[in-house]
Chains A and B, each alone.
Chain A
Amino acid sequence: MTTVDDRSVAEAEIGRDRRRKEDARLITGRTRWTDNITLTGMVHLAMVRSPFAHARVTGIDTAAAKQSAGVVAVLTGPELGEEMGVLINAWPITPDQVTPVHTPMAVDRVAFAGEIVAVVAARSAAEARDAAELVDVDYEELPAAVDLKEAAAATPENGGALAHPDLGTNKSALWIFDSAEAGTGSDVEEAIARARTDGVVIEREFRQQRLIPAFMEPRSTVVDPTGEQLTVWSATQIPHVLRFAMAATLGIPESKLRVIAPDVGGGFGGKLQLTPEEWLTVALARRLGKPVKYTETRSESLMSAHHGRDQWQKLTLSATKDGTVTGLKVELLADLGAYVAIVGGGVPVLGAFMFNAIYKFPAYHFACQTVLTNKTWTDAYRGAGRPEATFGIERMMDELAAELGVDPLEVREKNWIKHEEFPFTTVAGLEYDSGHYEAATERAKELFEYDDLRSEQRRRRESGDPVQLGIGVSTFTEMCGLAPSRVLGSLDYGAGGWESAQVRMLATGTVEVVTGASAHGQGHETAFSQIVADRLGVPFEDVEVLHGDTQVAPKGLDTYGSRSLVVGGEALVKASDKVIEKAKPVAAHLLEASVEDLEFRAGTFSVRGTEAGISIQDVAGAVFAAHNLPDGMEPSLDSDATYDPVNFSYPHGTHLCAVEVDTETGQVRMRKYVACDDVGTIINPLIVSGQVHGGLVQGIAQALWEEAVFDESGTLVSGSFVDYLLPTAADTISFDLDHTVTPSLTNSLGTKGVGEAGTIASTPAVVNAVVDALRPLGVEDVTMPCTPQRVWQAIHGAGSGGSTPGAAMPHFESGGAAGNQEQPGASSTEGAGQ
């Protein structure tokens, strides 16, 4: 028993810049990445993948591969048959959604370039790769559905290419929300008609290019079938979902499956997937009775791990002449790729709730047609549906401001939800619990020195400076913290959105915290330790966070949609509170006081009005010994909680971006970027800054650099990092960040998600800035990514800059030995006057 340890408020963990406790091992790599795992007798897989986007597989000769050194097995789709199982879509967005059957390996037809047609198992990874090169596949090419718009228009009658000819259509599902029908608003057609005669109508079509998540650690899976349970290690964001789906589709009892996501090197949604490679690794392990490992190459990752975005957006916005918005109509085409991935069609549907954003639209209509094509499948990528929506609406608000000749912040302020109007039910049917757009905007303008930059812009315009300045605005919000289970149910999603936590008090006073959220780089171990340390009043160092193993953390719904803190964090709070409640009668018993006289503060139970007290860590020791407990008390303080949120969380913020556009070359340079985000209560400011910085760069990269480009035959042209341009620190500027804090009312900590905010907000801020720089030159849009050539073409009257030439420059000679190889497309060139 000790006297009261009165920890001061200054020592509170929440709000403290803790360095991430997981970083030393993650950065040095002295840890368990899946590919680091080696088991006795383990064999290695290599995949044989189709080079064609759409083809019938007419024959596979595996004889030579089977003879190759070290080979244990070579198997094709027909040979594995039902053993390989089937991959599922967890979110059929309409009852009549057209969903092609997706086997992990093609049986007789491939539907995208990169689809697996055979799998080789060998003693070493090198031998597996060598043998894979010897598998001889005969293909009969079929017409490929590549272009999204053409695919949407194709029918058996007009002879357009069908991604899956047996389905008779490329159209998968049409999902519609209409505010008049839903009773959340009025009729949008009426609003638009009215504005055509007596108001303003803005009509635009925007392209959301296809992106590749490009996580740092390639995907890897190890399966051990040699115990009573089947153990699966996988570089995944979703170990619990994976376990459930494998049990549901592979005929393995869930109780016989253990799934472990060890340290995982990033995901950005790209590892929120049930993958053909995981299913095949399980199938081979079961068939061979040996541990099996598969690790993809970067090239395989780029072509076959799911991509993101890829929409055409047709938007119509109506407003009165004074700039008050009256209606928004959204018509989307969304590219699913060859199969409907786990969340597949649901990603654009998440956007349905966000196009109206922070504005008070009285009428709203949203329609999304998902479309199958012969390309890599698409699914969640940082923001998942919300960046697409935010881009659309924030570009439109800038267009409205330009049409009216007013400042883009003015037109936003006129239409946004005022602070005193919260909670506010939107035209899309969501209830925004809190927000303060005025405060975030005021602070952002101040940091940005908005008026000074507008003056500089005027000067450059007047002097005809070849380098023009543009200012872009994005006053975003988003819905995250996925998700209230009831809402997911109403949208026909295949699972709930709760999260689970357990807090275990160990005999020596340290604390094990179990979470069902599955970190893959975010810093959960640090932030969750801070929450529990504060709640229980124990030292930060005494808290250990366990996650990512279905045997250690048996319940959970994993990490995506900025849910870990707002859902998982709240579960932790509830479990911690239960521990305190269980400890209280023990403390009272030991202090020989009544429970009513105890108070718990800073980790210590004390008797009001006395010096007597006992720390919760000492109570844990007493409970372990169990020598002297109240009658009937179970000797355990361990507690579980499962929390199902009642609402999403709605972070928001004002982002201001200044770019310099070199009108002679079309080059865009970042000049200044200010982000004032409101993510509610901040647990760890350092981690929040990291999330915002990374998110901003990822969003800026969509605006300026990244694009997954396919050629007409459906081959991924940007298939390496030579052509898929990821930015590095050298390409960015130092961002100016600040926060306003309007606590969320839907969880007790007041937190809102932050993982996706930067990505959602930044893309339109940058493109708005580019267009703003060039608007006096007649430019009203530039297609993303805003490459120098597109910007230059837009300046020279070629609309929004047109398409990307569909080829990649070879930077590596291929085939043959030194000097004597023929280069494709090579022609003799003589320089000027040589």
Chain B
Amino acid sequence: MIPAAFDYVAPTTLEEALAALGEHGDDAKLLAGGQSLLPVMRMRLNAPEWVIDLGRIESLRGIREEGDELVIGAMTPHAVVGEDPLVAQHARLLTDAEAEVADAQIRHRGTIGGALVHADPAGDLGAPARALDARFVIAGAGGTRTVAADEFFLDLFETAVGEDEILTEIRVPKRTGWRTHYEKFVRVKHQWSIVAVAVAVRLEGDTVAEARVGLTNMGNTPLRARGVEEALTGRPATEESVAAAAARASEGTAPPSDLNGDAAYRSHLAQVLTRRALMTAISGGTA
């Protein structure tokens, strides 16, 4: 488990990091928490000539409020996001999902931005980010641009972040008072999601005023279960209407088949887990 030789640079500002990226381009890899990159390098599945460590750039860490949004620095560790009171108050779904990421050691090393840019469809942050309509701030040599969650995830391990760009912030619209739940299905606790469902609902009395549902590992990217959202919006927050809506969870998905289950089983799971996630959220478990 010895990686191929590489050169290492640890810039302290975003500008320096972008300059290093511009200089080494194709031959460089950005190191965030290293929870996916380092194993890949050690197994020699990837051998970048340069590793640019973002760990010393203070401006990429931290969580703050900005108007109607929460702004989460891309280099903020999972554990920090998971324990943050602002996140718990305004984007509870992220709190729920962060608690389910891998194990405690990985949550302390791995970062929210690193996980999102890695874009493993079985990762736990993509579905909540899509369900919450997060926006992604991407810095490049020419300045920054902001990409909506729907346009961020392009394919397996592929996002809108270009080779010469760096994800700097995740901006999450505040959804204060929404009821949320992240239902993750695994065989052993530290495993990647076989399927997971992220839900956030806003109730008005006994009616579901708004519903947002994201799916983990039901395709090459995190997905929105818009069929479920449509079926539930404006309906009574009852078991019957939830079950009817959840039955649409696998519409339009293309789940993988692997050692943990085939596509048909995953489609079935998505429906069961969506129903359970919605009922848990509605009953106020994590309001």
Stretch at the interface among A543-551, A573-581, A724-732: A724-732
Contact of B45 among A812, A832, A834 (CB under 8 A): A812
- Whether B269 contacts A730 by the Cβ 8 Å rule is no
In the complex the two chains form, what is the Cα distance from A452 to B40 in whole Å?
51
Contact of A818 among B45, B163, B248 (CB under 8 A): B163
Contacts of B265 in A (CB 8 A): 788-789, 792-793
What DSSP secondary structure best describes chain B's contact surface? Answer: loop
B182 is an interface residue with CB less than 8 A from chain A: no
Contact bitstring B253-279, A, C-beta under 8 A = 1, else 0: 110111111100100110011000000
In the complex the two chains form, what is the Cα distance from A809 to B217 in whole Å?
10
For A46, the closest partner residue in chain B by CB is B2
Stretch at the interface among B66-74, B183-191, B233-241: B183-191
In the complex the two chains form, what is the Cα distance from A341 to B260 in whole Å?
31
Contact of A826 among B220, B251, B257, B273 (CB under 8 A): B220
Contacts of A28 in B (CB 8 A): none
In the complex the two chains form, what is the Cα distance from A818 to B167 in whole Å?
13
B150 is an interface residue with CB less than 8 A from chain A: yes
- Whether A718 contacts B259 by the Cβ 8 Å rule is yes
B192 is an interface residue with CB less than 8 A from chain A: yes
Report B33 CB to chain A, min CB distance, Å. Answer: 14
Q: How many B residues face the partner with a CB closer than 8 A?
A: 68
What DSSP secondary structure best describes chain A's contact surface? Answer: loop
In the complex the two chains form, what is the Cα distance from A810 to B36 in whole Å?
12
B11 is an interface residue with CB less than 8 A from chain A: no
Contacts of A704 in B (CB 8 A): 187
Contacts of A819 in B (CB 8 A): 158-159, 161-163
A79 is an interface residue with CB less than 8 A from chain B: no
A667 is an interface residue with CB less than 8 A from chain B: yes
In the complex the two chains form, what is the Cα distance from A139 to B10 in whole Å?
43
In the complex the two chains form, what is the Cα distance from A821 to B156 in whole Å?
10
Contact of A298 among B1, B155, B220 (CB under 8 A): B1
Stretch at the interface among A124-132, A349-357, A628-636: A124-132
Contacts of B227 in A (CB 8 A): 832-833
B96 is an interface residue with CB less than 8 A from chain A: no
A807 is an interface residue with CB less than 8 A from chain B: yes
Contacts of B159 in A (CB 8 A): 819
On whether A722 and B192 interact (CB within 8 A), knowing A709-B259, A815-B45, the answer reads: yes
- Whether B187 contacts A823 by the Cβ 8 Å rule is no
- Whether B260 contacts A831 by the Cβ 8 Å rule is no
Considering only residues 689-742 of chain A, those with a C-beta below 8 Å from chain B are: 704-705, 707, 709, 717-718, 720, 722-723, 725-728, 730-731
A58 is an interface residue with CB less than 8 A from chain B: no
Q: How many A residues face the partner with a CB closer than 8 A?
A: 58
For B25, the closest partner residue in chain A by CB is A817
For A709, the closest partner residue in chain B by CB is B259
In the complex the two chains form, what is the Cα distance from A792 to B260 in whole Å?
12
On whether A812 and B39 interact (CB within 8 A), knowing A831-B225, A831-B253, the answer reads: yes
A299 is an interface residue with CB less than 8 A from chain B: yes
In the complex the two chains form, what is the Cα distance from A288 to B149 in whole Å?
60
A828 is an interface residue with CB less than 8 A from chain B: yes
- Whether A805 contacts B221 by the Cβ 8 Å rule is no
B8 is an interface residue with CB less than 8 A from chain A: no
In the complex the two chains form, what is the Cα distance from A793 to B260 in whole Å?
13
Report A131 CB to chain B, min CB distance, Å. Answer: 11
Considering only residues 158-211 of chain A, those with a C-beta below 8 Å from chain B are: none
Q: Which of A667, A723, A805, A808 has the most CB of B within 10 A?
A: A805
A442 is an interface residue with CB less than 8 A from chain B: no
Considering only residues 779-834 of chain A, those with a C-beta below 8 Å from chain B are: 787-789, 792-793, 804-805, 807-821, 823, 826-834
Q: Which of A726, A818, A826 has the most CB of B within 10 A?
A: A818
Residue contacts A-B, CB under 8 angstroms, 17 given: A126-B5, A129-B2, A299-B43, A665-B269, A704-B187, A722-B192, A725-B187, A792-B268, A805-B257, A809-B192, A813-B118, A815-B46, A816-B46, A818-B161, A818-B163, A819-B158, A832-B224
Chain B interface residues toward A at CB < 8 A: 1-2, 4-5, 25-30, 36, 39-40, 43-46, 48, 103, 118, 120, 122, 150, 155-159, 161-163, 185, 187-192, 194, 215, 218-221, 223-228, 230, 248, 251-254, 256-262, 265, 268-269, 272-273
